[in-house]
Structure 1
Amino acid sequence: MKTATELLQAYLDQIRDPAAAAALFAEDGVIELPWVKVRAQGPAAIEKLIAGILVKMPDFRFKNIKLWIQTPDKVFGEYEVEAAVVDTGKIYAQTYAGVLLAEGGKIKLLREALDTAVAARAFGKDCMNHP
């Protein structure tokens, strides 16, 4: 049975394969990013969410993974993304902080925090003379 750390690492490694990443979640598993009001429950909804992210940022992938707290059923870490946003041409450079709760070898909850100002700048279609 996979530990929380193994599940988080697998999720981060498989983010470019929505079906594989979503399969790591329990049937009632949840991914949520409350600061941007995103929540998906169950593998099908999670797969759709990840696929949607990849449409907006085809080069989306996690790097510089740091795990700060690890127990068999809980893990907390930070990980980064740097990818171009298709709609704006801007670079989305973000650091996520995520806590994962595991149950029965599956992800029960993955809750991630991010800098909403960074996201707004990368996805905003503002004038080019404003950085």
Structure 2
Amino acid sequence: MQLAVLTALFLSFASSSLAYLVNVPNGYQGWKENGPQPLEWSRVDTDAEYFAVVLTNQDRTVLPYDIVLEKYVDGTHLKKEIRLPQDGCPTGDHFRVNLVKSADEPNTIYAQSSEFSIKRW
């Protein structure tokens, strides 16, 4: 019985490592508050072809609510310039980008970036 449980856990971890992965932004390469910003990811053939991009921050004093940045991204392109809101974007630390199923289903997260900073120009 324990072997079956360990095998199931191993397979779930292995399969989760073979999905969308956000490469940029990251803890070393963050974003600026204005203008197009780089988003890069990797994927496998079994990943969904399209996704939406959501900006989030656990510190709700910095970002009171999540922002949908892109509603329909072709995942096969592996990178995209993301335009931040025209009225600017909050600056600070602990931001993350989520690749989600759709703008209507933001809780179905395909991948999440590591934490990064958004800085002033």
TM-score normalised per structure 1: 0.25
TM-score normalised per structure 2: 0.26
Q: Which has the larger radius of gyration?
A: 2
Richer in strand (by share): 2
